[in-house]
Every structure is written in C-alpha cells, then in structure tokens.
Amino acid sequence: MAAHPGKEIIDMGVGEPDEMAFPEVVEKLCAEARKPENRGYADNGDMVLKEAAARYLERVCGVRGINPETEVIHSIGSKAALSILPAALINPGDCVLMTIPGYPVFGTHAKYYGGLVHNLPLTEENHFLPDLDSVPKDVLGKTKVLVLNYPNNPTGASATLEFFEKAVAFARRNNIVIIHDAAYAALVFEGKPLSFLAVPGAKEVGIELHSASKSFNMTGWRCGFVAGNERLVKAYGDLKDNTDSGQFLAIQHAAAHGLDHPEITEKIAAKYSRRMSALVQVLAQAGFNARKPKGSFFLYVNAPQAAVTGAGTKVEFANAEAVSQWLITEKLISSVPWDDAGAYLRFSVTFVAKNEADEARILGEIQQRVNDVKFLF
C-alpha cells in the first residue's frame, strides 16, 4: 500500500464471508439475549440447537434418525471441536491421517498428545480425494483417525457418495474413526449438500462437524455442532464440558433459527456461485486452468511457473508462494498460495463488494490488471 498509494488492494485471500448474518438471525439473537433464562453457563447446551440440528440433517442432507439427545452436541465452532477431539482419541504413538493441503487443527492438537500425522496429498488426478489405498501397512496399524473435509478448503472439491462409502468401509476394516469436517457443507452450487452421515454405516465409525460460520455468515458468533456416533459425541461432550462452558444460549438459539431456515444458505451459495462463474472466466482468460467447483467459496488453480509482463520482462516463480507474493506486490491482488501437493493458488469469492455492480467492477479490475501479463504454466 505504501508503494502504491491510493491504489485498491483486491483481497481474494479472505477465508470468511464478506457479509453479516441475515437480519432475522440478528433479531433472534437480540430477542434471546433479553431472556433471563439464557444468561448463564450453557455447558453442553439445551435441546434447542440439538433438535434444530437433527431437523437440519434430515431436511437439508437427507440424514434420518439422528437422536438429538444423544447424537448431537453444539460446538463453539468447528475449530474448537477439532481442537478438543484429539484428547479423546489420541495416545502417544497413535497416527492421524490428514489431507494436505488442508485445515490442520486436528493434526496439530494430535501432536500435542504425542500423536503422529500421516499426510495424504490431494491431487488433481485423484479429484482432490485422498488415496486411502496408499497408506502404508505400518502406518495403518497405528492409525486411529481419518480427518476429511468436503466441500474442501482449499481445493473447493466435493466428495462423492462412492468416496464416502469407500471411506466408511476403510474405517470399518481398519478400526479407524472418521471425523468429517463439513464446515462448507451447505454451500453447494448444484444439487443437495452431501453429508458423510448419509452413507450407510457412517454413524458406526464417525461424526460430522457442522458450522454456522460459513453457512449462515456467522464466523464471529462461534457456533456449530458435532453429530453422529453416540460414543464419539459423548466423548466430545465429556471433554467439552471440561474445556469450555458452552456457547451463549442466545447465540445457540439464533444459530438454531438459521438451521431451520436453510434458504438463507441457499441465498449465500447463489451469490458465491455467481461470483465463482465470473472469476473462473477472468482467470481462464488469463491462461489459468480454472474450473468452477461444485461448492465452497474457494477457487483453486495451478500456479504459473513464470509471467511475462507487457514490457517483455520474464519473472520465474519457484513456487506458488512466489506467485502470490508477485501478485500482491505487482498487481495488488491478494491470494493464498499452497505448495503442499503441487503449486496452487486459492482465490476466495468472499471479496468485499458493495453490490452486484461493484462485484462486476472488481472482477473487471482483476482482468485489467493481468491483461498485459502472459502466464506460463
């Protein structure tokens, strides 16, 4: 900013919604915050969010038969749940299968307990689904947990029913727990959200983490839920009870209101879908291999190896991080680089825009800024 005073930085690196929670959810929070019965420690929560979560799983994801009393407990966001769960599952020497690139929180905490992390790369050839058959036998013998996340951050990839079925069979065969982080679950551009719990047998091996953060523009509110296997939910609850004192009931009740109004998420997803189509076009025109994902708000594209500028200067890039640095310093476009499994850039369609016209202006601005650059791949 100091080098380019007055010039706008286009921030495509953001990992959270650009808008506020919907007014009706804010109203619900205000009404619930005024109730004296909601004022105290919430501990593991009352039945309001639990019941709404079970209804949501059935209505939105087609998952029947979740018992709200024993198979759901709220979380202070998925991150909090991912940081609490390793205490229940990881002893020194136990292994966790994590996907890279990915959201590392469970693995980080597993290491605090003396656990080991085995990384499964997400590659284009595998449609950004981990190759479960690639896990070496000695690792498999020590493996306690497989962590999955679809729609995926950062690749934007969605899972398939077949993949989830394979994962359930893998977990059963090897006595492994599956934790499916569904933080972006309902943000889909076509069809219905796919829940891991919709797969027969999933509840025997795992749990799913849902969050109001992205689905309802409520990142700062800190509310989600853990659902699925009763023993795992109970273990999470026992630990949670000894870790936090629960999210403010008024926030839980407002989140429950959201869960009962999935049309809110549909509106949010429609906005991201519109922006995604436009961004794909802009990046494709610039030479990137950009394809619209089926959900999330992330567009993951392969990073160029070099750029030739309008003046004919060639800049070589050692990795995605170098590309990202170049884009922000030369073009004032912020992105997130990933070099874990190939060199890729992540663009988020949660950039701040006042309205649709402003949205189009910002995307046009990106196009203009890279217009005179030839990217080499």
Ligand X SMILES: Cc1ncc(COP(=O)(O)O)c(C=O)c1O
Scan residues 304-363 and list those touching ligand X (CB under 6 A): none
- Comparing CB distances to ligand X, the nearer of 77 and 237 is 77
| C-beta closer to ligand X: residue 152 or 229 | 152
Burial of residue 122, with CB atoms counted within 10 A of its CB: 0-12 exposed, 13-18 middle, 19 or more buried = buried
Residue closest to 328 by CA, chosen among 198, 356, 320: 320
Smallest distance, Å, CB 347 to ligand X?
Answer: 15
Out of 29, 99, 146, 181, the only residue in the binding site for ligand X (CB under 6 A) is: 181
> Which C-beta is closer to ligand X: that of 98 or that of 176?
98
Closest by alpha carbon to 375, among 332, 322, 338?
322
Q: Pairing relation of β-strands 95-100 and 143-149?
A: parallel
**Cβ closest to ligand X, residue 15 vs residue 342:** 15
AA identity, residue 245: S
User: Which residues within the stretch 91-130 sit at the binding site for ligand X (CB under 6 A)?
Assistant: 103
183 lies in the binding site for ligand X (CB under 6 A): yes
For residue 151, say if its preceding peptide bond is cis, omega within 30 degrees of 0.
Answer: yes
Interface with ligand X by CB under 6 A: which range of 72-80, 187-195, 306-314, 351-359?
72-80
- In the complex, the smallest distance separating the C-beta of residue 335 from ligand X, rounded to whole angstroms, is 16
CB of 130 to ligand X, least distance (A): 14
DSSP 3-state of 184: coil
Say which residues have a Cβ less than 8 Å from residue 76's Cβ, sequence separation at least 6: 222, 223, 224, 244, 246, 247
Choose between 213 and 217: whose C-beta lies nearer to ligand X: 213
Specify which residues 336 forms β-bridges with: 346
3-state secondary structure of 47: helix
Quote the CA–CA distance of 152 and 128 in Å, as a whole number. Answer: 9
CA atoms of 344 and 320, how far apart (whole Å): 6
Question: What's the min distance (Å) between Cβ of 311 and ligand X?
Answer: 38
Angle between helices 249-259 and 47-61 (to 10 degrees): 20
Of 85 and 307, the one with the shorter C-beta distance to ligand X is 85
Binding-site member from 174, 219, 325, 367 for ligand X (CB under 6 A): 219
**Number of residue whose CB is nearest ligand X:** 77
Give me the least distance between CB of 181 and ligand X, in Å please.
Answer: 5
Written as one letter, the residue type at 3 is A
Classify each residue of 22-45 as buried b or exposed e, where b means 16 or more C-beta atoms within 10 Å of its C-beta.
beebeebbeebeeeeebeeebebb
Among 224, 293, 304, 337, binds ligand X (CB under 6 A): 224
Which CB atom, from 103 or from 189, has the smaller least distance to ligand X? 103
Considering only CA atoms, which of 311, 304, 249, 264 is closest in space to residue 60?
264
> Which one of 73-81, 193-201, 261-269, 308-316 is the stretch in contact with ligand X (CB under 6 A)?
73-81
287 is a contact residue toward ligand X (CB under 6 A): no
3-state secondary structure of 140: helix
Task: Tell me the closest approach of the beta carbon of residue 16 to ligand X, in angstroms.
Answer: 7
Q: Is 215 in the site for ligand X (CB under 6 A)?
A: no
**Crossing angle of helices 23-33 and 249-259, rounded to 10°:** 150
- In the bound state with ligand X, the residue whose beta carbon lies nearer, of 78 and 195, is 78
Burial per residue of 311-335, b for 16 or more beta-carbon CB atoms within 10 angstroms, e otherwise: eeeeeebebbbbbbebbbebbbbbb
Number of shown-chain residues binding ligand X (CB under 6 A): 13
- 149 lies in the site for ligand X, by CB under 6 A: yes
Judged by CB under 6 A, the stretch of 76-84, 199-207, 234-242, 266-274 that binds ligand X is: 76-84
78 binds ligand X (CB under 6 A): yes
| 194-213 positions binding ligand X, by CB under 6 A | 211, 213
The pair of structure tokens assigned to 41 is 């420690």
Nearer residue to ligand X within complex by CB, 184 or 317: 184
295: DSSP letter? B
Strand order in the sheet with 314-316: 314-316, 306-308, 374-376
Query: CB of 68: closest distance to ligand X in angstroms?
Result: 20
What is the binding site for ligand X (CB under 6 A)? Answer: 15, 77-79, 103, 149, 153, 181, 183, 211, 213, 219, 224
